[in-house]
Amino acid sequence: MQCRVCDATELEPVLDLGNQPWCNHFLRPEEVGSEPFYPLRVVYCHRCATAQLDHTVKKEVMFGDHTYLSGVTRSLSDHFRTVADEVNQRIGNRLSSKSVLDIGSNDGTQLKHFQSLGYDVLGVESSKTTANIANEAGVPTVNEFFNLETSKTISRKFDVINAAGVFFHLEELHSVTEGIRESLSHEGIFVVQFLYMKRIIENLAFDQIYHEHLLYYNLKNIEALLNRHGLAMFDAYLSPIHGGSMIGFVTHQDVRPSTDRLNDLLKQEDSSRCNDIITYRNFSRRVDQMKQRDLAYLDSAKTAGKKIFGMGAPVKGNTLLNYFGIGKNYLECLVEKNRLRKGLVSPGMHLPVVMEDELSTPPDVYYVLAWNFKKEILANNKPLLDRGTEFYFPVDAGAA
Ligand SMILES: [Zn+2]
């Protein structure tokens, strides 16, 4: 295969998570056991240093009808408001009318914040269910995959283009990036929000690796991709969302100078060696150590007769459960708030999803799959903590 970013063929396998089911598809009871499995393996490009999956599950399989809703958690909604405010300050009041296009706009949570700032908004969302939810909530949303063709069909320029958490799972990477350049006004700002690979490595958050995430970016390699299409990042900051996300501000090349904070972040990448192959080789070894540690913990809790539930049924949790082999041998169920997952079963390990408000007795231990909401989870479960329920965080990204 060729590198998805630079076309080089010097790719080295660095982390093999085996065959895994498509982790965003929670199963209806009648589907249990018939879910397909696909290779989940990370390779590293020796030319541009981009980590990426070497197997592509078709986008129509993955994004036709996903059930992830942005609006479900408060901290995510707060984050989207911050992003809207940040970008609005940059666009300033020089424009009498302001417009924004959101790619992968989900249920419209991000666009609602732009609407309240007076923007004319348009969402593009590939999941039909989710696009309907957005339209019903008054956020105009086209049910399509965004790419160069979609951009031509929409046929207008936007002052702001936003892409939160979609830029790393683009099968049509170059067509999408071209589409963004086409749709961005001359002085417009493209806000790209992506999981930051440097943080994934530092936190050992390998569960962020799943089939939808074809690419794992640091600033150095996303910059290479943008430059290839006449775009350039001029500013960025690290947000705690999803355990460490980069919020990058991009414009047409040579329109705005780089900020000091972007230059500092690039220097930190160099000194941490997060773009070096050696770091990726170590990553694989560290993941296996984590597996031994977690299984030892769960074994001892089980031996002590403790009742263990999973906290949250996030998509990424399935990577972890399947790779570690954590199913009914350890956990009774996954406790979740997202009602779209009610009555479903986790792919691969077949753990039933139970709604938090329907739980009759709490467990002795929560194995927290939704670890990125640590602060929120600990704050919401004060009474359980007081009565001695343990919350075990397999990944600790700090109080994000
Ligand atoms: Zn490459």
Question: What is the pLDDT at residue 242?
Answer: 79
3-state SS string over 186-212? EEEEEEEEEEEHHHHHHHCCHHHCCCC
**Cα of 46 from ligand 1 centre, angstroms:** 7
How many angstroms is it from 270 CA to the middle of ligand 1?
18
State the pLDDT at residue 93: 64
Quote the ligand 1 centre to 51 CA distance (angstroms): 8
For residue 8, how far is its CA from the centre of ligand 1 (angstroms)? 5
State the distance from the centre of ligand 1 to the C-alpha of 3, rounded, in angstroms.
Answer: 5
pLDDT tens, position by position, 343-388: 999 999 999 999 999 998 999 999 999 998 898 899 999 999 999 9
**Residue 46 pLDDT more than 60?**
yes
* Distance from residue 9's CA to the centre of ligand 1 (Å): 8
Cα 47 to ligand 1 centroid, rounded to whole Å: 5
11 CA from centroid of ligand 1 (Å): 8
Share of the chain above pLDDT 70, in %: 93
Q: Cα(50) to centroid of ligand 1, in Å?
A: 6
User: 48 CA to middle of ligand 1, Å?
Assistant: 4
Is 169 a residue whose pLDDT tops 80? no
Confidence category of residue 90, pLDDT binned at 50, 70, 90:
confident
pLDDT of residue 120: 95
72 has pLDDT over 60: no
Render pLDDT for 109-156 as a digit per residue (tens, 0 to 9): 899 999 999 999 999 998 888 899 999 999 999 999 899 999 999 999
Beta bridge partners of 56: none
**Ligand 1 centre and the CA of 223: distance in Å?**
12
Q: Is the pTM here over 0.85, yes or no?
A: yes
Percent of the chain residues topping a pLDDT of 90: 76
Mean pLDDT, the chain, rounded, equals 91
Give the pLDDT confidence score for residue 396 in this predicted structure. 83
CA of 6 from ligand 1 middle (Å) equals 4
Alpha carbon of 173 to ligand 1 centroid (Å): 13
User: What's the average model confidence in pLDDT over 20-33?
Assistant: 92
- Mean pLDDT is lowest, of 94-98, 236-240, 325-329, for 94-98
What pLDDT score does 339 carry? 85
Q: Ligand 1 centroid to 171 CA: how many Å?
A: 15
pLDDT confidence of residue 400: 42
What is the pLDDT at residue 259? 96
**Distance from the CA of 10 to the center of ligand 1, in angstroms?**
8
Given this model, what pLDDT does residue 58 score?
77
Give 7 Cα–ligand 1 centroid separation in angstroms. 6
User: Beta strands 365-368 and 308-311: pairing type?
Assistant: parallel
3-class secondary structure, 62: helix
pLDDT tens by residue, 268-278: 999 999 999 99
Alpha carbon 19 to its chain centroid, in Å, reads: 20
Å from CA of 284 to ligand 1 middle: 20
Best CA proximity match to 42, nearest among 319, 311, 359, 299? 319
Centre of ligand 1 from the C-alpha of residue 28, in Å: 39
> What spacing in Å lies between the alpha carbon of 145 and ligand 1's midpoint?
24
| Count of positions (residues) in the chain | 400
pLDDT single digits (tens) 292-320: 999 999 999 999 999 999 999 999 999 99
Report the side by side order of strands in the sheet with 308-311: 353-355, 334-336, 308-311, 365-368, 390-392
Give the domains, in start order, of the chain with CATH numbers. Answer: 70-277 (3.40.50.150), 295-392 (3.40.50.720)
Q: How far is the CA of 155 from the centre of ligand 1 (A)?
A: 31
Q: How many helices (H) and strands (E) does the chain have?
A: 13, 16
CA dist 45 and 52 (Å) reads 8
Query: Mean pLDDT, to the nearest integer, of 206-214?
Result: 92
**How deeply is 28 buried, as exposed, middle or buried, from its count of CB atoms within 10 A (0-12, 13-18, 19+)?**
exposed
CA of 94 to the centre of ligand 1 (A): 39
Q: How far is the CA of 221 from the centre of ligand 1 (A)?
A: 8
Q: Average pLDDT for residues 100-105, to the nearest whole number?
A: 94
pLDDT confidence of 243, banded at 50, 70, 90?
confident
Say how many Å lie between the CA of residue 224 and the centre of ligand 1.
9
Query: At 59, is the pLDDT very low, low, confident or very high (cuts 50, 70, 90)?
Result: low
Report the pLDDT value the prediction gives residue 399, as an integer from 0 to 100. Answer: 46
Other CB atoms within a 10 A radius of the CB of residue 16 amount to: 14
User: In sequence order, what are the residues at sequence separation of 6 or more whose Cβ sits closer than 8 angstroms to the Cβ of residue 196?
Assistant: 217, 218, 238, 244, 245, 246
Specify the pairing of strand 158-164 against strand 184-195. parallel
